[in-house]
A and B are shown apart, each in its own frame.
Chain A
Amino acid sequence: MMAKTKKSKKGYIQRISGPVVEGRDLEGARLYDVVKVGKEGLIGEIIKIVSGTYVIQVYEDTTGLQPGEPVESTGEPLSVELGPGLLKNIYDGIQRPLAFIEKESGAFIKRGITVSPLDRKIKWEFKPKMKKGDKVKVGDILGTVQETDLVEHKIISPYEGKLDDLKKGKFTIDEVIGNVSSEGKKHELYLTQKWVVRKPRMYIEKFPPTIPLVTGQRIIDTFSPIAKGGTACIPGPFGSGKTVTQQSLAKYSDTQIVVYIGCGERGNEMTDVLTEFPELVDPNSGKPLMERTVLIANTSNMPVAAREASVYTGITIAEYYRDQGYDVALMADSTSRWAEAMREIGGRLEEMPGEEGYPAYLARRLAEFYERAGRVRCLGSDERYGSVTIIGAVSPPGGDISEPVSQNTLRVTKVFLALDSSLAQRRHFPAINWLKSYSLYLESLEDWYAENVSSDFPKLRSEAMALLQKEAELQEIVQLVGPDALPEKEQAILLVTKMLREDFLQQNAYSDVDARASLEKQYNMLKTIMNFHNKTMSSIDLGAQLKRIKEMDAVVKIGRMKEISNENVKEFGRLNSDMGAEFDSLLKK
């Protein structure tokens, strides 16, 4: 649906209070219309209308504005421009490319800059897939553009009707590529379309998630898997590794598109992503990861109203690629800052606050956002499936997740990755607590794992988890009486769970070999440890000493198993047979 352009109205400013400005005489302007505020034409959005007063949230610093300056409605709600050129770009919260802002105003962001979201000069090679005279439905693929080496951008028809013309060749996004007529009306076709950010894009049907998002992170893929089209949240105090986890997911997930929203976070972190992603290579294609990534950076010191919008901008772009039939992962870091932006604006509007000063509609907004995730059948006559997976970081004050943002997020998300600062302090990374985390997708993904990894994978997982659970109980006893007071077998469990923790769950995001573990490697690692466990238990039954088992070569080898690369999983076979032989010779003695 295209937003219709109406005749713009001019009014004037009545009051300024921080990012909130009150305008008058804007008759005809509608709620959520974008307005230009003041002489500099700062961008804002109407968020409330009370008896002739139009309350506007301004996306830029309002210093220097005066009552009486003009306000003008553009007659359009806040929208994003969707088309080739989105990938590899870095935007602020309202889809202004930061590279263009740099050209206009240097290293510091000045106000009142209007720049086009997409490069209007690039000529894209358009290859039509339909032809003149074809009947076209909303969502049909008109043709394709090779956007980056990794991604073929599909141009989707926003109209229904008869295709009067569809050209082939090189076009800029402002050139007409064809015409559609329906019921006597003619529509021009472009490589781009606009979409209102606060409105979810349409699809035919949503499906329950049955395919995992393979992230290469052992703690996630094995113990708390995320599904394609699912939702996950990562709450944790500062310094527990939220951002590193989010970035690992952005790097190693097996999706075709990544939308990364830096929402109210550190500037240097975005720089980190910007310098690192072009150097990182997609394991499947050998191309830089940046080729499949859209970045949205509204750092903490950038205007707060644009921070509120950044999440919507990101999800709309994600949905657009989903509609092309891609699997998209959206990382939002951090949704707490987004909620705080709502709180700040709510406060300026003198709204009645809910819990901890957050607006009463916080829960609804969060739920609406996560509800935009999903695996869907896209619009269009061909059968095409796409998904948006949302992974949101939450930054609870003091690390206490009883606060409203965490609680309302937990109610709508299906995977909970509990970051734990005590793990981070011990330099156990990723600092995700294996006992507190959960995934509600475990069951619905079980079949997939059994079919695609190994039939005994779900069983191994639950056995390993049971051991880790047992460890927590044993540790309590150890705290009281010391480890030597435990029976041999329980001490053996502690040895095995130490392996699970240190040699399986710990994963070094900075190591080339270890940063991404294929499912096959994960399975083999887990299988090896559980194999060791079973052998240890039966050997103790047959009279072997735990002390001797601890001294075995296999223990050292398991400790180094992370260093086996994804391509060399065969080595695990030898590791296991060596281990078997070692146990045998131990028992002979």
Chain B
Amino acid sequence: MKEYKTINEIAGPLVFVQGVSGVSYNEMVDITLSNGERRRGQVLDVSDKVAVVQVFGATSGIDPKGSSVRFLGETMTIGLSPDMLGRIFDGLGRPRDKGPQIIAKEKVDVNGLPINPFSREPPEDFIQTGVSTIDAMNTLVRGQKLPIFSASGLPHNQLAVQIARQAKVRKEGESFAVVFAAVGITHEEASYFMRDFEKTGALENAVLFLNLADDPSVERLITPRLALSTAEYLAYEQGMHVLVIITDMTNYCEALREISSARQEVPGRRGYPGYMYTDLSTIYERAGRIKGSTGTVTQFPILTMPGDDKTHPIPDLTGYITEGQIILSRDIHRKGIYPPVDVLPSLSRLMNSGIGPEKTREDHKGVSDQLYAGYAGGRDLRALSAVVGEEALTEVDRKYLKFADAFEDRFVRQGQYEDRSIEQTLDLAWELLSMIPEAELKRVKREYIEKYGKRFRKD
């Protein structure tokens, strides 16, 4: 083991060590302070003279003279075992629940390896979340990555917990697990998640990694990767269907920016590093199905849009990588509607491959399109009626207005513990669509109106 006492510069989270040899790029580092305290780090840049080490945790207390640096000769790894289910770890993978250490069955590099696109299987199994707006109109499919774009003050945590609790695939005898990564969230939020997981018994099938707001920000770059390595192990080695929830990706990106500026890199948009797209993709792209494996990894990252702005680099780059997005709206939230999902800008790109006969129901696609068209029409008319008054609208238009209101009030709104099956959701949709004249229902096939819609219609 190589040990050096040659630190010559400390800048932010970076420590420069001189006169090193045999140091590998990306290898892990242990720094022992003069008072015996220890810090972890990773090699960011190495030449035959200097190694630049990024320290996880604070660099306060590191002194160039007294501290010694040991290069461990291996990259950041995590020991994995099925025993991790039901356990809570900190942001670097150490037990946090006073339980015993995990005896690793396998050790892997936390950065993982890219999945060969040739070895992927297209995602096509419907996951029922029990939330109508998601199941009917933005369907989640196994192996998909579907983020929630939220904003501060909106109930995204409640929605995440509800989905973790209710999500199921409607086939018998398949094992399901949740891996939860908290990235820079507060103690209060973390204990909300833990309490809920414990109360509902979801913890048994869950692995939690918690990096809290007062934990070192550099650790935030590691936490999601630990979670995904665990998820990949459970999925591809243990054959489980794993749902990974990461909250809050905005904190992750802030940490990325912080490190980048400490490294004095050329900043990209709004100070975020130019490689943020690539970096985020190494997280999000770790969702999927692969050939010859029963297990799958589905990702449900949550991020808060700074200033409610969808074009901010964090949601923007995320949207370019993920397969859709579910957007929460402050306007709907203000109306007191939970979950405040705004279906119009929301999208699930893989929806069409996960719905239809045998997967959900044959009328699903048409109903979803019709709901979109009806609600979008109603919302447009709301704006118009604000200008010209409701009286100036035609009778049909007034029906659309009423439909939009009912849609928000009954379809979007549901209880935190209300678990609607896809049949209930679609029937509710038909019930609401009965408010619109039949001739206007152009997006659904005639036969489905007869078969599913007729019994709700009064005309």
Contact = CB atoms under 8 A, between A and B. Distances in A.
B116 A357 contact: no
B316 A238 contact: yes
Given A63-B26, A268-B120, A356-B268, A395 B320 contact: yes
A36 interface: no
B117 A479 contact: no
A90 B21 contact: no
A282 B144 CA distance: 30
A17 B293 CA distance: 35
Contacts of A267: 114-115, 117, 120, 285, 288
A108 B376 contact: no
A16 to B, nearest CB: 4
Interface string B248-275: 0000000000000000011111000011
Contacts of A101: 116, 118
The interface centre, meaning the residue of A16, A304, A510 with most chain B CB atoms within 10 A of its CB, is A16
B316 A357 contact: no
Interface string B274-286: 1101100110011
Contacts of B396: none
A484 B392 CA distance: 9
A108 B48 contact: no
Interface residues of A, number: 70
Contacts of A399: 311
Given A15-B46, A268-B143, A397-B269, A239 B321 contact: no
Contacts of B277: 264, 300, 337, 340
Contacts of A398: 310-312, 316
A286 interface: no
Contacts of B392: 482, 484
B48 A262 contact: no
B216 interface: no
Given A16-B25, A510-B352, A299 B117 contact: yes
Given A16-B25, A63-B75, A347 B266 contact: yes
B376 A426 contact: yes
B278 A271 contact: no
A481 B267 contact: no
A570 interface: no
Given A271-B121, A340-B277, A16 B46 contact: yes
A425 to B, nearest CB: 5
Contact of B321 (A109, A266, A357): A266
Contacts of A340: 274-275, 277-278
A357 B268 contact: yes
B388 interface: yes
Given A397-B316, A425-B376, A482-B392, A271 B120 contact: yes
Interface residues of B, number: 76
B45 interface: yes
A331 to B, nearest CB: 16
A343 B274 contact: yes
B36 interface: no
Interface stretch (B83-91, B95-103, B343-351, B407-415): B343-351
Interface in B340-375: 344-345, 347, 349-350, 352, 369, 372-373
B384 interface: yes
B405 interface: no
A66 B75 CA distance: 13
A78 interface: no
Interface string B97-139: 0000000000001011111111111110000000000000000
B292 interface: yes
A272 B122 contact: yes
B30 interface: no
B291 interface: yes
A539 interface: no
Secondary structure class of chain A's binding surface, majority of residues: mixed
B319 interface: yes
A344 interface: yes
B99 to A, nearest CB: 30
Nearest to B383: A479
B75 A64 contact: yes
A106 B392 CA distance: 65
Interface string A445-469: 0000000000000000000000000
B21 A68 contact: yes
Contact of B115 (A67, A108, A238): A108
Contacts of A237: 319
Contacts of A427: 369, 372-373, 376
B22 interface: yes
A301 interface: yes
B290 interface: yes
Nearest to B439: A556
Interface in A471-526: 479-482, 484, 510
Interface string B378-406: 00000010011000110000000000000
B45 A268 contact: no
B323 interface: yes
A62 interface: yes
Contacts of A262: 117
B232 to A, nearest CB: 9
Interface string A84-120: 0000001000000011011001111110000000000
B46 A347 contact: no
B265 A347 contact: yes
Contacts of B117: 90, 98, 262, 267, 270-271, 274, 297, 299
List the 3 closest pairs (A to B, CB-CB), nearest first: A398-B311, A300-B281, A15-B47
7 contacts: A66-B23, A107-B236, A300-B278, A300-B281, A301-B281, A340-B275, A357-B267
